[in-house]
Amino acid sequence: MKKLNRRHFLMSTGAAVTATGLGAPSILRAQADTIKIGGLHDLSGPLDASGIPMDQVFKLAIDDINEKGGLLGKQVEGVVYDPQSNMSLYSQYATQMALKDRVAAVFGGITSASRETIRPIFHRYNTLYFYNTLYEGGVCDRNEITLGTTPAQTVEQLIPHAMNLWGKKVYTIAADYNYGHITAAWVKRYVEANGGEVVETEFFPLDVTQFGSTISKIQAAKPDIVLSVLVGTAHLGFYRQWVASGMKQEIPIASTTFAAGGTDAVILTPEEGNGILTSYGYYTSIDNPTNTAFKEKVAAAYPDNPPILSELSEVTWEGVMVWADAVREAGTIERDPLLEVMETGKSYDMPAGAVSIDPKTHHAIRDVYLAELQDQEFIIKETFPQVQPADTQMVCNLKETPDANVHHEISL
């Protein structure tokens, strides 16, 4: 047996830390002949159901680039950390990626809280950052490329469609944090713009699991539509208790959040989920050759544990592909030339349809879809081509203020 000296001790504890996934990137040895990009998605903790598929697609995108010969004659290498749904780990790993690993770009962050934790860090160190989640809108930062949908893109389509189908009285139930409040305000604006009325808006802390009293109140108010901006697995209880109260046949539900990460549609039984109307930037049922090829790639890469595809994971793919395209065109991995390529507003052919980046806001101009859940699959009802991120455009113009570094709370 070897004598235990300090070096051995450090090596073995280092190995232990790696094994538990606490501190080390999944690829430890950095080689000078690779281009490193960072993936920061929650692989454990309450958000892992969203984070793991995003991470799987992130790695697949890297493999796809490498199979086609890499970039600038080099292989691309993913540096992955698990922030464990924990904000202090987010800031720690973000700093580490920017300063120690010196990655060319970072992809990730899921909640707005995690994005606002890491966005200023990447801004400070000029590390190009791609945020790939639908969110409440309002980020104004030239260093961040935001490809997910915002309320002005989805709510604007969902509300008139639902009102046409079902009626003008809307009852909004929303999660009690900034996303829920901002989206509820957009709901009210679009309902009123379409000649309807929001009879009540109720907010729910994220740990509320009991919806009996709310369901009774909805029964008393007799709206034509229940509009759900509920978030998280605790709130899934609403849909379940709604069906248990015999309301499924009575009042239809439209939602801007249901199954955003794809998992809700699986956790609810088909009888509970059928008929819920949603609007996002991506559904697996989108019918185009790029999407078919994308789904085949994903299925081939993960035969045993296929990721649940949703806007979150598909947009992660978009992020890596948009970055790779810019690297090819600019011939460098330096941030500013890449941003200039993306700011030309060129159009990218993605599984979700054509996507381009609005140079004023660095948000995506993209196709938005309306779809209804049937037997745990979303059936697309309507497609709205090339929708602008109108909400963020109200508050942000990076052409005029390229140094902006804020998240505007868009007030209506």
Partner 1 sequence: MDYVLIILLEMLRAVSWLVLLASGLAIIFGMMRVINFAHGEFLMLGGYITIMTHNNGVPLWISMLILAPLTVGIFGILVERLVIRHLYGRIIDSLLATWGLSLLMIGGVTLVFGNTVQGVSTPFGAVSIGEYSIPLYNFVIIGFAAAIMLATWAVLKFTKVGLVARATMQNPDMAETLGVRTTWVYMATFGIGSAVTGLAGGLLAPLTGVVPSMGVNFVGQSFITVITGGASMIAGTLSASTLLGTVSQGVTFASGPVYGDAALLLTALVLLRVLPQGITGRIFKKSL
Report the interface residues with partner 1, using CB under 8 A: 44-46, 48-49, 52, 176, 202-205, 207-210, 212-217, 219-220, 233-237, 240-241, 243-247, 263-264, 266-269, 271-272, 308
Which residue, 148 or 307, is less far from partner 1 as judged by CB?
A: 307
At a CB cut-off of 8 Å and minimum separation 6, what does 12 contact? none
- We find the least distance from the C-beta atom of residue 376 to partner 1, in angstroms, to be 8
Element spanning 48, H or E: helix 48-67
Smaller CB distance to partner 1: residue 193 or 266? 266
**Which helix (H) or strand (E) segment is 317 a member of?**
helix 311-330
DSSP assignment letter at 286:
-
Whichever of 160 and 306 has its CB closer to partner 1, that residue is 306
What are residue 75's DSSP bridge partners?
A: 34
Contacts of 400 (CB under 8 A, 6+ apart): none
Q: How far is the CB of 112 from partner 1 (least distance, A)?
A: 19
CB of 307 to partner 1, least distance (A): 10
Name residue 20's amino acid: T
Identity of the residue, 15 or 221, whose beta carbon is nearer to partner 1 in the bound complex: 221
Shorter beta-carbon distance to partner 1: residue 24 or 208: 208
Cβ neighbours around 70 below 10 Å, total: 17
Q: Which is nearer to partner 1, 240 or 381 (CB)?
A: 240
Pairing of strands 347-350, 353-357: antiparallel
Smallest distance from the beta carbon of 208 to partner 1, in angstroms? 5
Count the neighbouring beta carbons within 10 Å of the beta carbon of residue 304.
4
> Pairing between strand 144-146 and 377-387?
unpaired
The DSSP bridge partners found for residue 204 are: 175
- d(CA 384, CA 367) in angstroms, rounded, equals 6
Burial label for 203, CB within 10 Å (0-12, 13-18, 19+), is middle
CB nearer to partner 1: give 234 or 406. Answer: 234
The angle at the Cα of 51, spanning 49 to 52, to the nearest 5 degrees, equals 75
The two tokens of residue 128 are: 């190009």
Question: Which is nearer to partner 1, 30 or 247 (by Cβ)?
Answer: 247
Least distance to partner 1, CB of residue 137, Å: 23
Residue 43 CA to residue 109 CA, distance in Å, equals 11
Q: Shortest distance, CB of residue 406 to partner 1, whole angstroms?
A: 27
Q: Closest CB to partner 1 among 264 and 314?
A: 264
The stretches of 81-227 forming alpha helices (DSSP H) are: 87-95, 112-124, 151-166, 178-193, 212-221
Work out how close the CB of 173 gets to partner 1 at its nearest, in angstroms, rounded to a whole number.
Answer: 9
Shortest distance in whole angstroms from residue 117 CB to partner 1 = 20
Report, in Å, the least distance between residue 185 CB and partner 1.
Answer: 16
